[in-house]
Chain A
Amino acid sequence: MLSLEAQHVRKTYGGVTALADAGLRVRPGTVHALLGENGAGKSTLVKIITGAVRPDAGVLRLEGTDVSFSDTADAARHGVAVVSQELSLFPDLDVLSNMFPMREPRRGPFVDRGRMAELARPILDQLGLRVSLRDKVGDLSLAQRQLLEVAKALVTDPRVLILDEPTSALDSKTAEVLLDILRVLRDRQVAVVFVSHILEEVMALCDEVTVLRDGSTVLDAAPLAGLTIPKIVESMLGERHAELAEVRPRATVDLSGAVAAPRGSGALRVENVSVEDRLSDVSVTATPGEVVGLAGVAGAGHQTVLELAAGLRRPTAGSVLLPDGKPAPRGLRAAIARGVALVTGDRRRLGLMLDKPIWDNAGQVRSVALARDGLLVRKRTLRERAAEHASRVNLRTSSLEKSAGLLSGGNQQKVVLMKWLQTHPSVLLLDDPTRGVDIGAKAEMHGLVRSVADAGAVVLMCSTDLDELATLCDRVYVLHHGRVCAELAGETLRQHEILAAMNTGTVPTA
């Protein structure tokens, strides 16, 4: 009998289909890999299985009985535990309190900490998590917190344990410990679902593989024995992606004059840079007019390169030169004054003032932070300039008075771009710029990024979206354990190659 079975699950958000026909069959005593590209529907499927999201259609069975969870607590009572990507710990509480959220053992009206400790200690020891039960969770390292998440799930003694990218925050040694634990659980007949980007881990650990593509299951509980990394990559990406990769986004608007043609050498140069624990001897060059991508699994160091260019981090060795030929300054503010623009995927937290009108957001950097308009900031100027840039980036809104929080994700990201274009940047840094925007808005954003490059700016982009890297970029540097392991361009710049290099550190020979 199967421990967990999901059949024909469908889920749409608004008009966007997250899951079309997804299924998952997990046998007890196996570690089951759930794989798929970004946006393939893995997270949605996990949320449905754990009761966080209700499916539009489909069947969910636990050990042969149909179930329908009202919420995550309900799923937990049925023996489904999840270790989520977004850490869900309370940083101000201690380790022990965090392990029993809402279900502390009690003695009368009081929390029975003695009993809690008895239950918690062996699990923590097993995980090799050497912390005191009284330690505040906020003081733990990211890896320790990740292990604590796992411990929290194990306390419930689950029959089905789902791990959503559990090793992304772990160094390789700690990840190894976690993988050992999963093997122990497997021997105890627990069904483990393992969601990961890191195919090496999947190969080393899992028994069966399910692959989602565009919301449907394309590889259904295939035994690992007959699979190889290239084969898995193949089914994750599909045939048509290989053809689509040839269609490159073109510049959609003329932004000449909106960006500054870099002075001096013109290129952004990262030369033989090392950063302790993150990068060793990395060299990256991006010339004006080019869109250069940075790829890697979480923690591979690709984001550190962006941070170097933005002045958020200093190299311990080597040099980082901005297009004006001088070293990157210390601090983001100084970098911005030198013409660096930074667009992140976390637009709601880091990009926008959600309660302020569009025109106010658009003037945020140029007129407010840099005070380039002098001692006075005129609303009229802000509105006029916002209107001009809004038509340039094709912002769709009924009015510039609208609060940024009311816009769609794609339009919000356009507002973020508007505010940076006002500064005439010479370097545009993008960190997962199209995270969570729909396909149409994504294509538009890609056109805009191309336009920025064509207008003469240096564009450097990190992305978790392989399709984005393969189609939008002219060149992609792939990082593996803090080193550049591949520089892909032209014929070799395809999702297959990126994914393989990200995971193995070498480019497969065709």
Chain B
Amino acid sequence: MTSSTTDAPRQDVDPAPGATSGGGPLGLIKRAFGMESASVLVATVVLILVIGAIHPDFLDPRQLRDVLQQSVYVAVLAAGVAFLLAMREIDLSVGAIFGLSLICSAMLMRDGWNPWVAAVAGIVLGALLGLANAAIVQVFRIPAIVATLATLSMFRGLSLALSEGQQVVGLPLDHTFFEFFGGRLFGIPVSVLVLVVVAIVLTFVLRTTPFGYRVRSIGSNPDAAAFSGISLARVRIQALMLMGGLAGLAGMLGLAYFGSGDPNIGSGFELLAIAAAVIGGTPLRGGAATVVGAMLGAVLLSVVTSGLVYFDIPVNWSSFATGAVILIAVGIDSLLRRRREARAAAAGL
């Protein structure tokens, strides 16, 4: 492969931002995967190898499996956040929706509901909480970031109030729901398989349905979208409901794995999910998104958190270290992206 700086490809490359192939090994990998999220994948792999080179224990398949398992919840949330960022919206209540739907389903199961029915109810509840967010935005005409800042506290408060601040225990852990979603299939955690399915479905929705196009059109130019006959309000409701439903789904996966309900679970997930989406390559200015990138961003964050444990970093410094790694990842990605865009502009594309 020749390194092509001025002669950018015209037809055979996905024209989404960041998809232009650069030179060197990065370009090769990108072409191999054919996706714009390759750079975050490369970063993740490199980070794993670096940690593994210093602490070979980290490369143990069981360790890597745990890392993956831990990233699933934020990854599902990040996929939804990517949709919202693509239309210049944001939802700060995702961690709280995750927690509230988990707690509610756990309480229903404890009270004798069939766990399958309770799990579906949890996902529906998540979607309804998303609808509540959308309704608040619509009725009071306030930005989603403000509305969801309020509902973040309200939903979290409901989790605590309903559970009276106690762990919800005494769930029928021998039921197939827990055995299946908390277990493994072919050695892979089922929740990771669910994540893969979600990635495929959401990528499909984003890239090939009118809804996916509308989301990106609104993010690209809201006025032009409205003038083309796209209803901003309707798309916003749909996107926030999708986000809520995904948070509910993540909650069910968490419930199946943990086997109990902690009313504080998912605190801070909203910021991790936003960070993951941004690390994955979804720009905050809107107009574009990558679901796979957002999920890989969550995996990267999970690698950082787990990896730091190996480095004898004082526990009080781990938060600082996590932040530093996020900053480095986002910073490098942004610099590379700007160089690529400058190159693409020079080529007249």
Bound: A344/B223 CA distance, A? 12
Bound: A344/B10 CA distance, A? 30
CB distance from A505 to the nearest CB of B (A): 32
Bound: A269/B294 CA distance, A? 52
Q: Which residue in A354, A368, A373 is a CB contact (below 8 Å) of B214?
A: A368
Chain A residues with Cβ below 8 Å from B231 are: 333
* Among B112-120, B205-213, B249-257, the stretch in contact with A: B205-213
CB distance from B207 to the nearest CB of A (A): 8
CB distance from B222 to the nearest CB of A (A): 10
Chain B residues with Cβ below 8 Å from A376 are: 208-209
Scoring B10, B15, B223, B230 by chain A CB atoms within 10 A of each residue's CB, the highest score goes to B15
Verify if B217 is at the interface (C-beta below 8 Å from A). Answer: yes
Chain A residues with Cβ below 8 Å from B229 are: 332-333, 336-337, 365, 369-370
Bound: A419/B230 CA distance, A? 14
| Contacting pair B209 A364 (CB below 8 A) | no
Bound: A378/B226 CA distance, A? 22
Verify if A355 is at the interface (C-beta below 8 Å from B). Answer: yes
| Contacting pair A353 B10 (CB below 8 A) | no
Verify if B140 is at the interface (C-beta below 8 Å from A). Answer: no
Chain A residues with Cβ below 8 Å from B314 are: none
| Contacting pair A401 B227 (CB below 8 A) | no
Chain B residues with Cβ below 8 Å from A369 are: 210, 214, 225, 228-230
| Contacting pair B226 A332 (CB below 8 A) | yes
Q: Which residue in A354, A370, A371, A403 is a CB contact (below 8 Å) of B349?
A: A403
- Secondary structure call for the A interface: mixed
| Contacting pair A342 B227 (CB below 8 A) | yes
Question: Which positions 190-222 of chain B face chain A at CB distance < 8 Å?
Answer: 207-210, 212-214, 216-217, 220-221
CB distance from B220 to the nearest CB of A (A): 4
How many residues of chain A have a CB within 8 Å of chain B? Answer: 37
Bound: A44/B180 CA distance, A? 72
Bound: A252/B349 CA distance, A? 29
User: Which chain A residue shows the least CB distance to B13?
Assistant: A401
Question: Which positions 266-323 of chain B face chain A at CB distance < 8 Å?
Answer: 287
Bound: A192/B36 CA distance, A? 58
Scoring A350, A355, A360, A406 by chain B CB atoms within 10 A of each residue's CB, the highest score goes to A355
User: Which chain A residue shows the least CB distance to B210?
Assistant: A371
CB distance from A57 to the nearest CB of B (A): 32
CB distance from B9 to the nearest CB of A (A): 9
Q: Which residue in A350, A355, A357, A377 is a CB contact (below 8 Å) of B223?
A: A350
Bound: A336/B226 CA distance, A? 11
Chain B residues with Cβ below 8 Å from A370 are: 229
User: Which chain A residue shows the least CB distance to B8?
Assistant: A401
Chain B residues with Cβ below 8 Å from A350 are: 223-224, 227
User: Which chain A residue shows the least CB distance to B288?
Assistant: A355
CB distance from A322 to the nearest CB of B (A): 15
Verify if A402 is at the interface (C-beta below 8 Å from B). Answer: yes
Chain B residues with Cβ below 8 Å from A375 are: 209-210
Bound: A364/B287 CA distance, A? 13
Chain A residues with Cβ below 8 Å from B187 are: none
User: Which chain B residue shows the least CB distance to A376?
Assistant: B208
Chain A residues with Cβ below 8 Å from B217 are: 353, 356, 364, 368
CB distance from A220 to the nearest CB of B (A): 42
Given A364-B217, A398-B348, is A349 in contact with B228 using a C-beta cutoff of 8 Å? no
Given A333-B229, A336-B229, A355-B287, is A377 in contact with B224 using a C-beta cutoff of 8 Å? no
Verify if A367 is at the interface (C-beta below 8 Å from B). Answer: yes
Other CB < 8 Å A-B pairs besides A369-B210, A369-B229, A399-B10, 19 of them?
Answer: A333-B229, A333-B230, A336-B228, A344-B227, A350-B227, A353-B287, A355-B17, A356-B216, A356-B287, A360-B213, A368-B210, A368-B217, A369-B230, A371-B210, A375-B210, A398-B348, A402-B349, A403-B349, A406-B349
- Chain B contacts to A: CB under 8 angstroms: 10-11, 15, 17, 207-210, 212-214, 216-217, 220-221, 223-231, 287, 345, 348-349
